[in-house]
Structure 1
Amino acid sequence: MFLSLLSKANCQPQDVAVPAQETPKMGLVQSLTAGRTIAAAAVAEGDSCEFGSMKYFALCGLGGVLSCGITHTAVVPLDLVKCRIQVDPAKYKGVFHGFKVTLKEDGMRGLAKGWAPTFFGYSIQGLCKFGLYEVFKVLYSDMIGEENSYLYRTWLYLAASASAEFFADIGLSPMEAAKVKIQTTPGYANTLRECWPRIMREEGVNGFYKSLVPLWMRQIPYTMMKFACFERTVELLYKYVVPKPRSECSKPEQLVVTFAAGYIAGVFCAIVSHPADTVVSKLNQEKGSTALEAAKKLGMAGLWKGLTPRIVMIGTLTALQWFIYDAFKVAMHMPRPPPPEMPESLKKKLAAQGKA
């Protein structure tokens, strides 16, 4: 299925150079490159790959592995305290109190509980999230056409990110189940090697996927906000805040804009997805419980427990993820899309209607 998507999105041969003055051929990548609209700038000399090639999508996936795997693992201590506040607020009364209790009971090593399933799970998720986002963005653009891709670009970002996250969570769910068990169930397991066999023995395959639906409920809105808000924030920052066009900004200046847009997107992501995140934590802690039962047990106030540390965590995470992802593209000399511009054909239509 993934290969089919890639083949549909990959609209031009990888080994054929397109002369700069040649009339654009039919096909999404050529038309978007020529029009400099939603998906790509013209291929510049020195790029390591063509936009829309298999190598391009593979590198996007690798950038996602680095951005998600590294950042989520780095904030494991904060994530651990956040999960414990969610499932046992009577014991862990706040962020600082949660750290204090954890250090007292488990020592410094206790703050790293769950690092292995976090690293592997979110690396898999990042591979699918960023790699497939680029694939679906190109695929859906091809389906609706260049002009609609510009006019309805926010909906395009939402649809592409939701589709990518659907598959990403299937890869994440088994590791997320193990992570929450290790972090919130005392005495259950201390390592991934101990945890996985026990989940399989006691709950079967369902133990790895029982929280998949609430995980979708948490991650899909989160990712839709993460990508759509980021893309539009970047566009607005270059239009209204940055004092010069993106093409005149140095690479470090562009990465600063990337970080700022990522943090803004991250704050909204945390708020939108937090209730489902709390349900996921509670569900993986208790055997035999359903998402609805967990939500009822938590109550409305309980669903928002741990929001402050999550805003800090997700805001920082999202900003760093976009920074690492964009920096990886720069380091690998990959094509990097400019802010979207209105296609010439649409400009002519609007001018003819007196709306330009």
Structure 2
Amino acid sequence: MLLKDVRYEHLIAGISGGVASTLILHPLDLIKIRFAVNDGQISIRPQYKGFLDALANILKSEGTRGLYRGVTPNAWGAGAAWGSYFFIYNVIKTRMSNGDTSKNLGPILNMVAAAEAGVLTLALTNPIWVVKTRLCLQYGNSPARASDAKRYNGMIDAFVKTYKHEGIRGLYKGFIPGVFGVSHGAIQFMCYEEMKARYNMRRHLPIDAKLSTMEYLSFAALSKLIAATATYPYQVVRARLQDQHREYSGALDVIRKTLRGEGVRGFYKGLMPNLLRVTPATAITFVTYENVSKLVANYRKAS
């Protein structure tokens, strides 16, 4: 019964889209993370005056490689996350519509399907995001020492050291705010699906009719802008929990200390590089996804 709802093209297309956008735009993600965790309390952190200053300083002190710290787990995580998300989301959505993909579920059911897919995907990928965050927060070019628990030689070394020194809880730091952040994906997918459905209805076409690349780009970018602006504070809380240079007792502790030390503005640190990254990243991901899924589906029908 479950297998009839499984469409593997969604998994393959999601992985392709996630990896493609990450490899192109990772430096913006790194800069966003560094802004997000910078509360002025850690002396080893470089202080940036703005986005361009951050870019120039990283290139000067760490070279081009510095802009790609954490790119390996980021690519793995993005591929796994987007692949799982699209795959699970479409299984849930297909079951909700009793197999009729031309049926419009409406904004509420689209949001429920996206939220369920988001929680399941987060449970699978949270350890990868912890490792990515920590690798992005390594400053300078000094090599890791075997005794240094907070300095990593790469993705595997970060996994091993995090698990060795912090256990499974260390790999799931930031999971709770991540669950709240599922609303981000839910809002994004609700907006994306509704915009596509209403646009096709106005053209008197089935709601699952294929669109042009520019139409996919427009709907993906707009839905991401709405979701990213509405839910950004959870990313700051999650990044700070995952930061190896600070210790917090939990998400509420991060919220209290951020409000006390930085005010509401503290929850929006890194928003600009985030918007510069996520808008084209989502457009690349969704366009790649839509086109690869179409190619795989056509190949499966022909074979």
For the aligned pair, the TM-score class normalised by the smaller chain equals 0.7 to 0.9
For 1:92, what is the secondary structure of its paired residue? coil
For 1:205, what is the secondary structure of its paired residue? helix
Match of 1:65 among 15, 18, 21: 15
For 1:122, what is the secondary structure of its paired residue? helix
Answer yes or no: is 1:202 the counterpart of 2:165: yes
How many Å separate the matches in 2 of 1:226 and 1:116? Answer: 26
Give the corresponding residue for 1:49: none
For 2:49, what is the secondary structure of its paired residue? coil
Answer yes or no: is 1:221 the counterpart of 2:183: yes
TM norm structure 1: 0.71
Asked if the contact 1:82–1:310 (Cα under 8 Å) also holds between the matched residues in 2, the reply is: yes
Asked if the contact 1:226–1:318 (Cα under 8 Å) also holds between the matched residues in 2, the reply is: no
How many Å separate the matches in 2 of 1:190 and 1:98? Answer: 23
How many Å separate the matches in 1 of 2:131 and 2:117? Answer: 23
CA gap of 1:170–1:334, structure 2 versus 1, over 3 A, is farther
The 4+ residue runs of structure 1 with deviation greater than 4 A are 244-247
Answer yes or no: is 1:167 the counterpart of 2:120: yes
How many Å separate the matches in 2 of 1:124 and 1:291? Answer: 25
Answer yes or no: is 1:257 the counterpart of 2:215: yes
The residue type equivalent to 1:196 in the other structure is F
The residue type equivalent to 2:199 in the other structure is L
For 2:68, what is the secondary structure of its paired residue? coil
Residues 344-355 of structure 1: matches in 2 within 5 Å?
none
CA-CA distance at 1:254 after TM superposition: 2.1
CA-CA distance at 1:120 after TM superposition: 1.0
Answer yes or no: is 1:113 the counterpart of 2:113: no
TM norm structure 2: 0.83
CA-CA distance at 1:73 after TM superposition: 3.2
The residue type equivalent to 2:222 in the other structure is I
Describe the superposition over 1:188-247 as per-residue Cα deviations: whole angstroms up to 9, x where unpaired. Answer: 2241122111111211111101211111222x111111211001112333455xxx6558
The structure with the largest alpha-carbon Rg is 1
Residues 238-317 of structure 1: matches in 2 within 5 Å?
238-239=200-201, 254-285=212-243, 286-299=246-259, 300-317=264-281
CA gap of 1:272–1:73, structure 2 versus 1, over 3 A, is farther
For 1:102, what is the secondary structure of its paired residue? helix
CA-CA distance at 1:276 after TM superposition: 0.4
For 1:75, what is the secondary structure of its paired residue? helix
How many Å separate the matches in 2 of 1:118 and 1:273? Answer: 21
Higher relative contact order (CA closer than 8 Å, sequence separation 6+): 2
How many Å separate the matches in 1 of 2:193 and 2:158? Answer: 38
For 1:105, what is the secondary structure of its paired residue? helix
Asked if the contact 1:86–1:282 (Cα under 8 Å) also holds between the matched residues in 2, the reply is: yes
The residue type equivalent to 2:253 in the other structure is E
Answer yes or no: is 1:193 the counterpart of 2:162: no
CA-CA distance at 1:316 after TM superposition: 1.2
Describe the superposition over 1:85-142 as per-residue Cα deviations: whole angstroms up to 9, x where unpaired. Answer: 1112651232111112211221111000001110111211112100010111122234
Let me know the Cα RMSD of the aligned residues.
2.6
Residues 129-148 of structure 1: matches in 2 within 5 Å?
129-142=85-98
How many Å separate the matches in 2 of 1:107 and 1:298? Answer: 31
Asked if the contact 2:248–2:254 (Cα under 8 Å) also holds between the matched residues in 1, the reply is: no
CA gap of 1:216–1:72, structure 2 versus 1, over 3 A, is farther
Describe the superposition over 1:303-349 as per-residue Cα deviations: whole angstroms up to 9, x where unpaired. Answer: 011111111211112211110111112222449xxxxxxxxxxxxxx
Identity %: 21
Asked if the contact 2:19–2:76 (Cα under 8 Å) also holds between the matched residues in 1, the reply is: yes
**Can you give the 5+ residue segments of structure 2 that lack an aligned partner in the other structure?**
41-46, 145-150
Give the corresponding residue for 1:124: 80
How many Å separate the matches in 2 of 1:304 and 1:235? Answer: 32
Count of residue pairs brought into register by the alignment:
275
